[in-house]
Amino acid sequence: MKLILVRHGHVEGIKPERFRGRKEVPLTELGRRQAAATAERIAAEWRVDAVFTSPMGRSADTARAIADRYSLVPQPLPELLDFDYGEWSWKTHEEVQQTSQALYDLWFSAPHLARIPGGDTLQALALRTADSLRLMLEAHPGETVVAVGHDSVNRALLLQLLDLPLSGYWRLQQHPACINEIDIDTKVAVQRINEHVHLLGLSEEEPA
């Protein structure tokens, strides 16, 4: 199976940054243009057999832009749901630091040891995303599949596919509407990570 792993397009709460997680925030106008550009980029190189998506609106809308190029219907996978930030949801970094400085520091220094109050752990995220990968592999062996996830979901999947520990979570970057390409057969071959050159020129700012 060839997996084309995509992050959803731009939403509010990326700049200035908030802990978004399970909060439903729609694609911005920039996000919609990014989704269209990513769909065009994928259609130019791959014949896609199936499109899977996180059930959250920002991912589903990005997936729909891609699926429309192939007359496909995106299939929601609950296992691709974003990280649950619990009590931190939609708070700014400054707001979290005011009440949870020690846990905030742990999250960014050793995220595999942190549990967000009322929310997720990286271990739970890794288990969910591994299940999503198994489901896609079972349904589409030898085919090309697009999966549209989130920053956290994509990081967790890539760490597993690269055989890296969860402690390396922050070493990977995932720009909005970026593309990752992974071949999964008798072995795993990661062909590209965080490709987003197709987004240049969509705004005056560097894609973020």
Closest residue by Cα to residue 38 from 23, 22, 58: 58
* Token output for 120: 């997720």
In-domain check, residue 172:
yes
Boundaries of domain holding 72: 20-85+121-199
Residue with tokens 């550009």: 37
In-domain check, residue 4:
no
In-domain check, residue 62:
yes
Q: What percent of the chain has pLDDT over 90?
A: 95
Count the domains in the chain: 1
Predicted local distance difference test score (pLDDT) of residue 113: 98
In-domain check, residue 11:
no
Residue pair 54/76 in contact (Cβ under 8 Å)? The answer is yes
Residue 32, pLDDT > 70, answer yes
Predicted local distance difference test score (pLDDT) of residue 15: 77
**CATH code where residue 61 lies:** 3.40.50.1240
pTM: 0.95
pLDDT tens digits for 75-90? 999 999 999 999 999 9
**Mean local confidence (pLDDT), 111-130:** 98
Q: How far apart are CA 109 and CA 93, in angstroms?
A: 15
Quick one: which H or E segment has residue 39?
helix 29-43
pLDDT band for 14, please (50, 70, 90 cuts). confident
Residue 206, pLDDT > 60, answer no
**Mean local confidence (pLDDT), 88-97:** 97
Q: How far apart are CA 148 and CA 8, in angstroms?
A: 6
**Mean local confidence (pLDDT), 32-57:** 98
* DSSP three-state, residue 56: coil
**Identity of residue 119:** G
Q: How far apart are CA 135 and CA 64, in angstroms?
A: 20
In-domain check, residue 31:
yes
Q: How far apart are CA 40 and CA 52, in angstroms?
A: 17
In-domain check, residue 103:
no
Residue 204, pLDDT > 70, answer no
Mean pLDDT over each residue of the chain, to the nearest integer: 96
